[in-house]
Structure 1
Amino acid sequence: MNANVTSNQATMTCAQLLIRLLRDTYGIRTLFGIPGVHTVELYRGLEGSSVQHITPRHEQGAGFMADGYARANGQPGVCLIITGPGMTNIATAMGQALADSIPMLVISSVNRRDTLGLGQGRLHELPSQQQMISGVARFSHTLLDANTLPEVLARAFAIFNGARPGPVHIEIPIDLFNAPVSVPVSWQTPTLYRAAPDPEGLAEAARLLIAAKQPLVLLGGGCVSAPEAARQLVEQLNAPTVTTINAKGLLGRDHPLDLGANAALPAVRELAANADVILAVGTELGETDYDVVFDDGFYLNGTLIRIDLDPEQLVRNQRTTLGLVGDAGRSLELLLNHIPAPLQRNGVERTAAALSALDLVNDPAFADFVPLYTVLAEYLPEAILVGDSTAPVYAGNHLVSQPAPRRYFNASTGYGTLGYGLPAALGAQLARPDLAVVALVGDGGVMFTLSEMATAVEARLPVVIVLWHNAGYEEIRRYMDANGVARLGVDIQAPNFLTLAEGFGCPGILVESPAEFAKALANRETNGPLLIEIDAAAWQRACAFTD
């Protein structure tokens, strides 16, 4: 990354400087946005640059693409969004990114400075766009002086690189886009070192962990930048380890100490309740990771050591004994120095016993999806799996083991938005063109953002869209049935997805069995997207017949 912005021009416009800073100072190579009358000047700044612009079909899709892009490669996803309705559209995607601590920069227009807050009924006017968006952003800033743009951008990237990340919103009044600004002779980004926990606290944490008889480690999405340190520490501690949904792959595929994201299942809950010392790093300890059955049954009775970049997080959800404020990855590296030799414990045996008790591949609740993930692992073993809130994803949260982090994420955690899977998969494919990407979606959720199939075709993104068609909102149907509520609003009319895909220019195929699914993957082209629609009822019959 070039850390300097230089130019022979004495001045340029605010819009031009914005693009130059993003490209040359912060290394941004991809932007997501839909041009509008209030943002056309930003596109003048893009003209002739090396920055790729992707045009989603909806601003929510833009936000989800930026989210998937950031999760797949760790770099902030950046969006250019129109005033008013563009911002209300992207707010849902920002909420998902905020819940999962995903770095996202949303740059929007806003009405002229002399009209802000006056309620004059101007185009795209909101009473306070900045106030509305503040609730789904780490911060939201209204630029009032074009010359402060470099400083405000620096604040945003300081959040991304040095604090708990999440969405940042910067709004620029339309009368500032063409405002002349002085070009810095050299605008250099500061070197930010990751925050490290207190040395005395680290030593005490190590002492507790070394003395433990039945330790347990809980690793969350905050650890994904340090897989090697995480693996080494877990092995030195010889401790069973829960890797949350956003931390899948952190220890590598099928590591003998990895309990997976199964903290809500009985055998892992028993380990947790009986652990005398628990180390939780980079995890909220929230219900969508540890209590997906929603009965508040995940108990930690032992000494709880927590490490998190956000000090407030250290006291949420569970009673903390020792809290350390620091970057998760850096903390793992430093803690390793205190545990130089492997501890002699039965961690591998305890892990194996718990997994044997779970017996996930023979659990009737997952029977329909074991063949699906078996086929995916055979034909696309290195793929990034990006999911919506849908039955295959709920099962995959328990079943899937990945070879590396940043290769499995979905919207069933945190904010839990529908429509996430398809656009987020497109963002992941743009971030990692070297890997296959699979979007796991349902017939209900995909309708929220189905128009983004046009974006996939236009950008020639070879995403495999696996659509589980079970004729409506199956998860909600089950909740209604369980609670004695009549089924209303859940048996929805589905379109002909193959015809829709053809209309977008995307090839599609209907499959009814694991064998047909395998054939579809084996014969897929890689010059654009492919829709594989799975008839859930027929698939279930085929799997039952095989059994």
Structure 2
Amino acid sequence: MSVKVYERILQLFEAEGISTLFGIPDPNFVHLFHLAEERGWRVVSPHHEESAGFMAEAVSRMTGKPAVCIGTLGPGIANLAGAIMCAKVENSPVIFLGGQRARITEQRVRRGRIQFVQQAGLVEPSVKYSASIEYADQTDEIIREGLRKALSGTPGPVYIEYPAHVIQEELDVPPALPPSAYRLVGQTAGPDKIAEAAALIGAAKQPILLVGHGVHTARAGESVKALADLMACPVIQTSGGTSYIAGLEDRTFPYGFSPSAVEAVVGSDLCVALGTELGEPVHYGRGRHWVENEANRKWVLVEQDPAAIGVNRPVDVPLVGDLRAVVPQLTEALAPRKPVPRLENWIKQDADRLAELAESAPSGRSPVHPARLAVEATKVFPADGIMVRDGGATTIFGWTYSQAKPHDVVWNQNFGHLGTGLPYAVGASVADGGERPVMLVTGDSSFLFHVAELETAARLRLPLVCVVGVDYAWGLEVGVYKRTFGAGSRETGVHWSTETRLDKVAEGFGCHGEYVERDEDIAPAIKRAYASGKPGVVHVVVDPKANSEEMPSYAEFRTWYAEGMQ
């Protein structure tokens, strides 16, 4: 069949099940945008290319598939840089397409060229693969190579550039191939290794499952639930893997922040790790809480990238493959076990912990204590909702005081990029088709990074409520000043206008706005925001002193940076 290059691009992505596109239409890509909408794609144009990249990343997390984002030539690609780097560190397979001037323009010896820079070199350190389509008939091989690289080993972003003179050329091509015809799909582990892992699990007296971010992004919750049921053990949740698996909520304990998790880790004689890099936030699986029983503990690691095996700690049985395929192999090889001793005690202990935190969070204050904000916002979180996190101090308070156990949580723990919250929330809701309620819990400084995307949310009529803790400052950094120089010291560059009303800003974008100064008003304001039928912003004034000085579990958080930071 004869097609234009831009149509072929869409066909190749459609073969992967991709049907959503983010970006601000580059002159090179206007025909692609137009045709994508005609073919039934969801085409979302935000107000900043970096937002587009974050939105695409959220779609990938929510679907378990690669996502597509387009940047206009020159400044558009420059604007994407933060999102590209975030996708790399967060292991998100996003395909970034860039427009570019015709190659004749690039190769001329000229000065003063408009909207031109050599782009590939800018992004190469932040992607797994970078390529340019120099000839139209390279389209299939380069798009497929991009998808292959994005999804093989540790997932990550790729960059593919289209010069203006190529994208409207004609191609004579066959129908697009299915993924299984050109890349490895559903890689399983060897049966010998599965048998070894099953033997270790069968012999263990105190096994644990360590579940990370990759379980959520692979959409593997159901199969992990089956494995956890057979193992009858506690599920230890990394700080990146904060999405709770349906049916495992009561025995999922956050690593480092729950005494139940710490006790289970210390006493474990086997750790089966899924979807985690065993990085700093879990002390590489060998420091802090892991030290005491290290000599008696065996490790099974499910990992897609063979080069990652044994890097951060020794592993007894590596299971190399896609966890969506490997975990079912494990369940087939296992017989049901008796529940791990003390499991019921740990479940009760953790439930009591959450209830005590809800009770003890300071209340009756105005401004609101940030711990009480976390309690009041999350106790009315919809059971079927999608939670998005952003902010520094706000997220730290949320780790400890959150009363919700959502099945979908989106935030970037690895990169720590502030300002992702609102674009993530928009992207997650787009991936969901706008069916489920979405709650963003964030701080004011983070929220302002991409506040213009409130218009995008309003335009798309997304069921999104943004609960914003407002201390009119970079609260986490204020705390750093205080710890470094002492209370009462000068705090340079971390405070902003106390007259800014984010609820009024929201109304200006066509959203619903609420202003709250008392903790008893938080839950009703959130409910009114959802009932409004518009995206909502709940501006909650929080106590700046408490926000900067009373962050819970901060000493635990600082242990993540033991090397070279503190």
Same fold (TM over 0.5): yes
Farther off after superposition, 212-221 or 117-126: 117-126
Q: 1:94 to 1:351 in 2, by over 3 A?
A: farther
Aligned partner of 2:207 in structure 1 is 215
What does 1:236-251 correspond to in 2, within 5 Å? 236-251=230-245
Counterpart AA for 2:277: E
Q: How far did residue 366 of structure 1 move? A: 6.1
What does 1:26-41 correspond to in 2, within 5 Å? 26-41=16-31
Counterpart AA for 1:65: M
* Residue of 164, 169, 172 corresponding to 1:182: 172
Q: Is the 8 A contact 2:69 2:97 kept in 1?
A: yes
* Residue of 294, 307, 314 corresponding to 1:312: 307
Q: How far did residue 296 of structure 1 move? A: 6.0
Aligned partner of 1:263 in structure 2 is 256
Aligned partner of 2:541 in structure 1 is 535
Aligned partner of 2:5 in structure 1 is 14
Aligned partner of 1:473 in structure 2 is 474
Q: How far did residue 330 of structure 1 move? A: 1.9
> 1:390-439: CA deviations, max 9, x gaps?
4332233345476664x11213x011111100111011111111100112
> 1:82-116: CA deviations, max 9, x gaps?
12221121121122222222221211112322344
Q: 1:178 to 1:26 in 2, by over 3 A?
A: same
Q: 1:233 to 1:177 in 2, by over 3 A?
A: same
**Cα distance in 2, alignment partners of residues 363 and 48 from structure 1:** 50
Q: 1:232 to 1:51 in 2, by over 3 A?
A: closer
**Cα distance in 2, alignment partners of residues 150 and 402 from structure 1:** 45
Q: 1:213 to 1:43 in 2, by over 3 A?
A: closer
**Cα distance in 2, alignment partners of residues 239 and 47 from structure 1:** 47
Aligned partner of 1:523 in structure 2 is 528
2:223 counterpart of 1:203: no
Q: 1:332 to 1:395 in 2, by over 3 A?
A: farther
What does 1:331-480 correspond to in 2, within 5 Å? 331-349=326-344, 351-352=346-347, 355=350, 361-362=356-357, 368-369=370-371, 372-378=374-380, 380-400=382-402, 405=407, 407-411=408-412, 413-432=413-432, 433-480=434-481
Counterpart AA for 1:80: I
2:277 counterpart of 1:284: yes
Aligned partner of 2:493 in structure 1 is 489
What does 1:495-506 correspond to in 2, within 5 Å? 495-506=500-511
Q: State the secondary structure of the residue aligned to 2:422.
A: helix
Aligned partner of 1:6 in structure 2 is none
Q: How far did residue 132 of structure 1 move? A: 2.1
Aligned partner of 1:275 in structure 2 is 268
**Cα distance in 2, alignment partners of residues 470 and 242 from structure 1:** 33
* Residue of 509, 512, 518 corresponding to 1:513: 518
Counterpart AA for 2:142: V
Q: Is the 8 A contact 1:379 1:522 kept in 2?
A: no
Q: How far did residue 75 of structure 1 move? A: 3.3
**Cα distance in 2, alignment partners of residues 30 and 378 from structure 1:** 31
**Cα distance in 2, alignment partners of residues 533 and 296 from structure 1:** 40
Q: 1:134 to 1:285 in 2, by over 3 A?
A: same
2:185 counterpart of 1:193: yes
Q: State the secondary structure of the residue aligned to 1:279.
A: strand
**Cα distance in 2, alignment partners of residues 248 and 119 from structure 1:** 53
Q: Is the 8 A contact 1:386 1:421 kept in 2?
A: yes
Q: Is the 8 A contact 1:104 1:168 kept in 2?
A: yes
Q: 1:361 to 1:370 in 2, by over 3 A?
A: farther
What does 1:125-204 correspond to in 2, within 5 Å? 125-127=116-118, 129-159=119-149, 163-185=153-175, 187-190=177-180, 192-204=184-196
Q: State the secondary structure of the residue aligned to 1:369.
A: helix
Q: State the secondary structure of the residue aligned to 2:485.
A: coil
Farther off after superposition, 238-247 or 467-476: 238-247
Q: Is the 8 A contact 1:253 1:403 kept in 2?
A: no
**Cα distance in 1, alignment partners of residues 127 and 511 from structure 2:** 35
**Cα distance in 2, alignment partners of residues 534 and 272 from structure 1:** 37
Q: State the secondary structure of the residue aligned to 2:27.
A: coil
Q: Is the 8 A contact 1:249 1:401 kept in 2?
A: no
Q: How far did residue 309 of structure 1 move? A: 0.5
Counterpart AA for 1:385: M
**Cα distance in 1, alignment partners of residues 245 and 426 from structure 2:** 26
Counterpart AA for 2:389: G
Q: 1:344 to 1:60 in 2, by over 3 A?
A: closer
**Cα distance in 1, alignment partners of residues 65 and 403 from structure 2:** 24
Q: State the secondary structure of the residue aligned to 2:159.
A: strand
Instruction: Percent identity, please.
Output: 25
Unaligned runs of 5+ in 2: 363-369, 551-566
Q: Is the 8 A contact 2:6 2:29 kept in 1?
A: no
**Cα distance in 1, alignment partners of residues 346 and 104 from structure 2:** 64
Q: 1:320 to 1:104 in 2, by over 3 A?
A: same
Normalised by the size of structure 1, how large is the TM-score?
0.87
**Cα distance in 2, alignment partners of residues 44 and 519 from structure 1:** 42
2:71 counterpart of 1:86: no
Counterpart AA for 1:220: G
The count of corresponding residues between Structure 1 and Structure 2 is 525
Q: How far did residue 468 of structure 1 move? A: 0.9
Q: How far did residue 449 of structure 1 move? A: 0.7
Aligned partner of 1:328 in structure 2 is 323
Q: Is the 8 A contact 1:281 1:308 kept in 2?
A: yes
> 1:236-281: CA deviations, max 9, x gaps?
222222122443344326634311x233566634532332221111
Q: How far did residue 46 of structure 1 move? A: 3.8
Q: State the secondary structure of the residue aligned to 2:39.
A: coil
Q: Is the 8 A contact 2:37 2:43 kept in 1?
A: no
Aligned partner of 1:7 in structure 2 is none
Counterpart AA for 2:101: N
CA RMSD, 1 decimal: 3.1
Counterpart AA for 2:29: T
**Cα distance in 1, alignment partners of residues 481 and 359 from structure 2:** 21
Q: How far did residue 235 of structure 1 move? A: 2.6
Counterpart AA for 1:229: S
Q: Is the 8 A contact 2:68 2:97 kept in 1?
A: yes
> 1:193-216: CA deviations, max 9, x gaps?
311122212211222222222222
**Cα distance in 1, alignment partners of residues 50 and 322 from structure 2:** 30
